[in-house]
Structure 1
Amino acid sequence: MKRIRNLILLLLGTACFPITLLAQEEPNNVVVMDDGFQDHFYEALKQKSIENYDKAIESLEKCQKIQPENPVVYFEFGKNYLAQKKYKDAYDNFEKVTQMDPNNRWAWVGMYDVCYDTHDYNQAIVIVQKLIEFKEDYKEDLTSLYMNTQQFDKALELINELNEKFGKSDKRELYKADILKDARFQSAEKNHLLEQIKKFPKEESNYISLIYLYSQSNQEEKAMEVAKKLEKEIPTSDWAQVSLFKFHLNNNDGDNAVKAMNLVLPSAKIDAKIKHRILNEFLIFTKNNPKYEPDLDKAIGYFDQDKDVKVAKEIGKFYYSKANWNKAVKYLEMHLKNNSEDVEAQQLLLQAHTETMQFPILIQKAEALIQLYPTQPQFYYYAGLGYNQTGNFKKAASVLENGVDFVIDDVALEINFNIQLGEAYNGLGDGKKKEKYFTKANDLITKQKK
């Protein structure tokens, strides 16, 4: 039984302690002494396993009296105190192990755990620098600690080192983006990226990062130099075209801007937000250079499957806001070909037709929409308005009276209905009803002002 118990103890100890603590000598040279140490130590392990840390510590104190220079005892003290959040006692015991055995990595890890739990990041840096001697992976921890202690210059240097050696990681890239928001660190990063481009001329991401940094600091000429270099080194790079598009647009070179845009928009590599930005910039350019409108129309086609942003509609609304009614009609109709259920776009289109006084078209579209959406009062209003403007007052009165009952909590629309009804009955020569509806409209306007 005693041999089996010793075997259990050995297995437990191997699982719980560093090999360096338990295998200092060859097994044949170890003299087993039955001094009570194993019994107390086994009890300490048992009590710790059931989270009875005070009892475990009592047993370890007995072990300590028997073998006061055994680092395993102090290591176990540290683990029990750490579990109890007695951080100073835990740290002191882990530190004692490192003094006895400087190469015991797990004792250093214990000290690191204490520092991290107590947010003593400066001391944690000292310990992690030691841990890196055992395992280079701890450089990732050191990066985080530099960020926590706002040592951004050291963090940036280490991030670049790790990126070059192991490749980029999402976490490091987030850290880097945060650091580079501060202009103080951008110069060093630009120099680093220039060196990386020299060393790895076919690595696209370095060019992209450098172009972004130059653009952020309004160094457009340098950004363009990098974009051209990227295009030369990697002719197939879609990212080079993003910067070249902007360059050509700034130089009022529409032809080359269109060429760059037509390479960027179908690219699967370019983020949708960037594509939308390019289209918006080209839209503004086209407003002042109408000859490129066919190119704008082609560009819109690249966004047909975009579920998040209805590009043709947004362009229609852009022209609508600028009172460019004909262009608004064109792009809203383009949008509605595949999105006829978009009630907002239908209403904007009807208003644009009203502004251009295309009343027969207005009547035709409004009547068709009444059939599809019989409870939408706006469509009755536009049909009635169109009939009034074409002199069909009887039809206007009929359609307006049918629609006004659907107006709910929309005072402005109710006022417009009453004005058009007054116009219709004025045209029909019914002075009484004319006065009725105009008076009602005036009352609503007065009430609205209050």
Structure 2
Amino acid sequence: MKKTLLSMVALLVAGHAAMAQNGLTEIPDPDGSQFMCTVLSPNGKYIGGVCYGVNAGFIFDVREQKMVKFDAPDPDTDVQLKAIADNGVAVGWNGPAAIFDFASEKCTTYGEAEQYLFTGISPNGKLIVGARYDGTDDEGTPCLFNEGVPTDLPQPSNKFLGAESAGASALSVSNDSIISGYWVDAMATRPALLWAPNRDGETFSAYPFSRGYFASSYESTMPYSIFSCDQTIMSANGKYVVLNVEKLLDDGGSEFGVARYNTENDLVEYFMASQLEGMEDSELYGFAVSDDGTIVGCCGSLYSGRTGFIWKKGETLQTLAEAFPKVAKFAEYDAGGMNSPCGISADGRYIAGFAFVDSETADEDSEETGGMTTWLFDTLYETNDVAAAPASEGAGKVVARFSADGKRLNADSKVRGFNMLLMKNGKTMKTFNK
């Protein structure tokens, strides 16, 4: 695969400063690739996704400010990055199932197109999950992959499910081999499913936990008759799964919501669109969940009018603009109609997503209207104006330092001129060194 490496020098020459504004950073895009984030590594170091402007995937190292692009072999090939590990290895497909390696800058494909799907990788990069397709199961056979070799995961019997299954797929996996995914019922919805390793450490047992909460047919009296779980993505520690819910109403309509499932106590919490004042008719989609149960996603529609949200455990769901009012960009992204938070780090500190932004150079006679941009938000930054640091810089340990042009510096090395400091307690300070 042809790869394009954008150096830090090129990024700075293009005039895109890497320094966060109130904690928000837009990934530099001097080539106009229009980066659309789809995944964030659990440690918050790597952002992966696709390019809207060209047919390619990408991985960006946030700390080193290094970009690697993975081009498709031809214009008709679909490229997707579905999950990324802490070591910068991502999985998805580039035609066939594929592994994208940031360190080697190589994309390795497995099998033929549509033979396998790679959809999840463990935080340590050792386990890959997905599905294989051989014509015997309409919706595929869930698999755990070891160096590209699939091992089938068991599927519950139709008798146990209470409905006929058309197949299943695994979507995400933790370091200790807890796997989340879904099965496909007679209504073509995707009820959630878990796999847990047995005592032998080699075999697995399937647990369709959704059976106790959601119906498998229209005749059921369960409260939520449709349970579409394409996005059954699990937190890095395997404790929480983010779910998307559609509730059938008595008048024949439906209501959308997002749910948080706790694998440790088998409980589900819901937040429905009807709870949002002025947005009762919106659709809610959760895309990622942190180790403490914080969910990020969008409300509005998958195809237009997206507004980014955050839903912390024990709190009400809020738009990002409401939760972080000092970050003006979030309101601008929402106005663009495609604000999509797609990833959150395991510790909940970093949130990544993409949005549509208007072109700064466009005028009434120009065909240029703007494009997609990928953003990263550090929730520990002060959202108020940056305060001047005391001369001693003694307000906690300095964990990161940036120069005026946005270049990341050694945390312990002062440089002449303006210095922006990120402290261990999450606060930001500015100093000026002669």
TM-score range, shorter chain: under 0.3
**Which TM-score applies when normalising by structure 1?**
0.22
Indicate the structure whose relative CO is greater, using CA pairs within 8 Å and at least 6 residues apart. Answer: 2
Give the structure with the larger strand fraction: 2
Higher percent of residues as helix = 1
TM-score where L is the length of structure 2 = 0.22
